[in-house]
Amino acid sequence: MSVRAKLFVMMVLQFFIWGAWLPLIFGYLPSLGFSKLEQSLVLNAFPFAAIVGLFFSNQFADRNFAAEKFLAFSHGVGGVAILLCGFATSFTAFFALMLVHCLLYVPTIAITNSIAFAQMKDAQKEFGIVRMGGTIGWILAAWPFTFVFVDWSAVPALGELGFVSWVGEALGHPLEGAAAQAATKWTYVAAGTASLALALFSFALPKTPAKRASAGGEEKLAWLEAVKLLRHPFVLLLWLVTFVDAFVHNCYFNWTGTFLGTPVAEGGVGIPANWKMPVMSVGQIAEIVTMLFLGAVLKKLGWRWTMVIGVLGHAARFAVYAYSPQPWQGIVAVQVLHGVCYAFYFATVYIFVDAYFPKDVRSSAQGLFNVMILGAGALLANSICPTLIQETFQEGGRIDFRGLFLVPTFCSLVGAILLALFFRPPALPAAGGDGARPH
């Protein structure tokens, strides 16, 4: 297997793990009898881990362990934890296992990036293709379970209906109650199995040794040196805009399902429940295509304008949500912007960090931005999105979707304007340099 193929498989497994358990956890936790507070604690374990990981796990990865060995340890222990979640029924046990898994899993997102970048000669050209494996892994995890959780006793035989109608019938008859709860545990078993597989596969990955602190009085705490780089205006601005974009990104996941399923007469799209997930998956398919062109776009437009387009993708998508005169056609079509939003901003940020930050703090630097991408942005969205859709923009049981979606539209526009006007990174050093350590 070539090095690029190994990196691709690494990304497939990395995001298969997350994609296996996340989509169904929102409905699974209430079935276990967890209170709203308990559900919130479980769901916020992931963004909490993104913040904690910066100060501990990424520090170890940068300075003390070969990246592939840390990856093997994290996925080995974290894999057992998420697998056991499938058999935990009490809040204490489930939360403890989920917290252990998240604390070990979240840093590996930055670590897999570091392993990939260490093997690339031209990250702008190669990373999009390698990272595309993560999107494929997410899709591979989600779609099979869509059909596993079907009450097949209520679905007519394929020969009695056309294929499209048969698929609609299948997706429209999910398992319920105890049967669904019993089946959902297999999402955690699948995630744990994939995690253990990646732990083993990590030993076949290219060696990525630890980067010791530089001589001459350099800061021994990698995360602190990464944080110190926020004193440079271009780094601080990108970090803050990443927070805004991450908040908007999580607004999409909080609200889109409700918007799609709400009847047209009540201001929604009226998509049948059994087609909501396929509609949203259009964005993931588009992400695969966008990743193929990311390298060419970066070389043509540069960092700033590529990122601006990524942020404006969110603004355009939510503006269509708010104003589309033909909800069904417009809303489905606009899902393709998901690929633009992710690849042109988040993936580009990861590439930028690898190019501009010193080698001995790159995992921590990735973690610094993951604090916003996976941590603070998600925490803010998870905290205020339910209030906005259930109280602020709802009256008499009817949601004001136009007013609701103008909030993230405005936030995205502000982020794009800030990038366009003020993001001015210095020129990169010659090829083979040790990152652009700003002065």
Write out the DSSP string of 195-219.
Answer: HHHHHHHGGGSPP----PPPTTT--
Same domain? For 300 and 331 the reply is yes
d(CA 392, CA 139): 34
**Encoded tokens for 141:** 């995890």
Same domain? For 1 and 53 the reply is yes
Same domain? For 249 and 284 the reply is yes
Q: Measuring CA to CA, how many Å separate 62 from each of 68, 144, 346? A: 11, 36, 21
Residues contacting 423, CB < 8 A, separation 6+: 234, 237, 238, 241, 303, 304, 307
Residue burial 337-376, b: 16+ Cβ < 10 Å; e: rest: bbbbbbbbbbbbbbbbbbbbbbbbbbbbbbbbbbbbbbbb
CA within 13 Å, CB half, 274: 16
Q: Which of 125, 131, 128, 81 is CA-nearest to residue 109? A: 131
d(CA 191, CA 141): 9
Q: How far is CA 4 from the centre of its chain?
A: 22
List the domain range (segments joined by +) for residue 333: 221-425
**Encoded tokens for 292:** 């193929």
Same domain? For 225 and 204 the reply is no
Residues contacting 414, CB < 8 A, separation 6+: 244
**Encoded tokens for 25:** 């956890």
Length of the chain: 439
The answer as to whether 435 is a domain residue is: no
Same domain? For 127 and 240 the reply is no
Same domain? For 324 and 399 the reply is yes
Same domain? For 262 and 183 the reply is no
* Main-chain dihedrals φ then ψ at residue 348, nearest 5 degrees: -65, -35
**Could you give the number of structural domains in the chain?**
2
Q: Measuring CA to CA, how many Å separate 87 from each of 90, 91, 187, 284, 322? A: 10, 12, 11, 30, 42
Per-residue confidence in pLDDT tens, the chain, 439 aa: 788 899 999 999 999 999 888 877 766 787 788 887 888 888 889 988 888 876 765 566 656 677 788 899 999 999 999 999 999 989 999 999 999 999 999 888 878 888 888 888 887 788 888 888 988 898 888 777 667 767 777 888 877 777 777 777 777 776 666 776 677 888 899 999 999 999 999 999 988 776 665 544 445 666 777 788 899 899 999 999 999 999 999 898 888 878 888 888 888 888 765 566 677 778 878 888 888 888 889 989 999 999 999 999 999 999 999 988 667 778 888 888 988 998 899 989 988 988 888 776 777 787 789 889 988 998 898 788 888 887 889 888 899 999 999 999 999 999 999 999 999 998 876 544 444 444 3
pLDDT attached to residue 202: 93
CATH number at residue 377: 1.20.1250.20
Q: Is the pTM of this model over 0.75?
A: yes
What is the greatest pairwise CA distance in the chain?
A: 76
Q: Is 209 left (phi over 0), alpha (psi -120 to 50) or beta?
A: beta
Same domain? For 309 and 412 the reply is yes
pLDDT attached to residue 437: 44
Burial class (CB in 10 A: 0-12, 13-18, 19+), 49: buried
Same domain? For 318 and 363 the reply is yes
pLDDT attached to residue 39: 82
The answer as to whether 392 is a domain residue is: yes
Q: Measuring CA to CA, how many Å separate 55 from each of 27, 60, 107, 239, 352? A: 32, 9, 10, 17, 21
Same domain? For 200 and 236 the reply is no
Same domain? For 81 and 145 the reply is yes
Q: Is 423 left (phi over 0), alpha (psi -120 to 50) or beta?
A: beta
The answer as to whether 216 is a domain residue is: no
pLDDT attached to residue 88: 93
d(CA 172, CA 71): 39
d(CA 409, CA 338): 14
Same domain? For 13 and 141 the reply is yes
What is the sign, positive or negative, of the torsion defined by CA atoms of 255, 256, 258, 259? positive
